[in-house]
Amino acid sequence: MARLLFVIDPLESLKAYKDSTVAMMAAAQVRGHRVYTCEVTDLSLAFNHGAARVQVLAQEIRLAESPADADPWWTVLEQRPFGSEDFEVVLMRKDPPFDVNYLVATQLLDLVDRAGSWVVNRPAALRDHGEKLAALEFPELTPEGLVSAQISQLTDFAKAHERVVFKPLDAMGGSGIFVTQAQDPNLPVILETLTEYGQRAIMGQRWLPQIAQGDKRILLINGQALPYALARIPPAGASRGNLAAGGRGEARPLTPRDQEIAQTVGPLLARRGLFLVGLDVIGDHLTEINVTSPTGFQEIKAQTGFDVAEAFVQALETELKQRRPGQPKARP
């Protein structure tokens, strides 16, 4: 049995019937682990006499036997300050945006990681792998793209392709995504809005018509791909497959190309401390690498019977057994 601390958004904001973090917590509880939660602002640092210690205002919770059918789906057993050393695993599951509070939380969790608790995903790796930019480390897998704040450069990029996608670098769930073309009379205002008149870098990508067949989310656990992807299919006439934007989720077995992409990037990301990763793939192209709070657990289980959350908790247990008590795993 281990004590697992989930750093999350407010509990009342989580939708138990579809939230992957809730599925993780429920699977951990079934397997005998104790579940604790906190928000990023519940982390604090006390330092004096040459020593520093991260403290956490956390609550131990008990989930209902069937969280999706219960209201409320959790009960608080205890709430009090803890030392970070009280937890064997700390799971950073706060959704974007990657704002100042998120940045400070990763810096505090760096200290937790160094002190011996295992932080999933590694805080430094969260900072180093911007979810839109991280895929560009593998240009052979990605569609043509551009990252710039310069409206003239972005306009030229649109002119070079029949159709393009422009999106902010720090949003999630399909927020702020525009599909457009050079002839679009709204292109100037789209670029002015997204770049805040040239003061903010955004991403442009060549539009992939295969989006009509779905934007696939491939989940990696410790570098290994799970057997099913969740294809997010746009509604009729729409261009975004994100579930938060009205897309429909359809679980599918991985294709040979999906496997190739996963095998190319998965082991490297795992060595960097990214234990849970969500790859976004459209057609044959990798478009994003999601490291903050990858989702899709519950949809895949409901459609295929494969219990992603249980597989995740089992992988946590295997990794914990390989770590000496109180000692962080050697860094690459």
* Residue 136 included in any domain: no
The pLDDT assigned to 300 comes to 98
Nearest alpha carbon to residue 89 among 246, 319, 261: 319
The pLDDT assigned to 69 comes to 94
Catalytic residue among 3, 93, 167, 272: 167
Coil, strand or helix at 114 = helix
* Residue 318 included in any domain: no
The owner of tokens 């459209």 is: 282
Residue 290 appears among annotated catalytic residues: yes
Q: Are residues 150 and 218 in the same domain?
A: no
User: 42: how many CB neighbours lie within 10 A of its CB?
Assistant: 18
Coil, strand or helix at 312 = helix
* Residue 323 included in any domain: no
The gap from C-alpha 166 to its chain's centroid, in whole angstroms, comes to 20
Residue 306: give its domain's CATH number: 3.30.470.20
Residue 62 appears among annotated catalytic residues: no
Angle between helices 20-30 and 297-304 in degrees, nearest 10: 70
Residue 232 appears among annotated catalytic residues: yes
Q: What Rg, from alpha-carbon coordinates, does the chain have?
A: 20
Q: Are residues 74 and 101 in the same domain?
A: yes
* Residue 79 included in any domain: yes
| Beta strands in 169-272, from DSSP E residues, in sequence order | 178-180, 202-206, 215-221, 224-233, 248-253
Q: What is the DSSP letter of 300?
A: H
> What does each C-alpha distance from 228 to 3, 95, 216, 221, 275 come to in angstroms?
29, 23, 10, 12, 18
Catalytic residue among 3, 94, 216, 217: 217
Q: Are residues 41 and 104 in the same domain?
A: yes
CA-CA distance, 296 to 293, in Å (whole number)? 10
| Under 8 Å between Cβ of 61 and 3 | no
Number of domains within the chain: 3
Nearest alpha carbon to residue 119 among 132, 128, 107, 135: 107
Residue 222 appears among annotated catalytic residues: no
Residue 163 appears among annotated catalytic residues: no
Residue 331 appears among annotated catalytic residues: no
The pLDDT assigned to 71 comes to 93
Residue 167 appears among annotated catalytic residues: yes
Residue 56: give its domain's CATH number: 3.40.50.20
The pLDDT assigned to 186 comes to 96
Q: Which residues pair with 276 in a beta bridge?
A: 221
Coil, strand or helix at 213 = helix
Catalytic residue among 3, 122, 216, 232: 232
Catalytic residue among 42, 216, 290, 299: 290
Choose the final residue of a domain: 99, 128, 157. 128
Q: Are residues 116 and 70 in the same domain?
A: yes
Residue ranges making up the domain that contains 231: 210-313
Residue 257 appears among annotated catalytic residues: no
Residues of the chain with pLDDT under 70: 173-174, 236-246, 324-332
The pLDDT assigned to 263 comes to 98
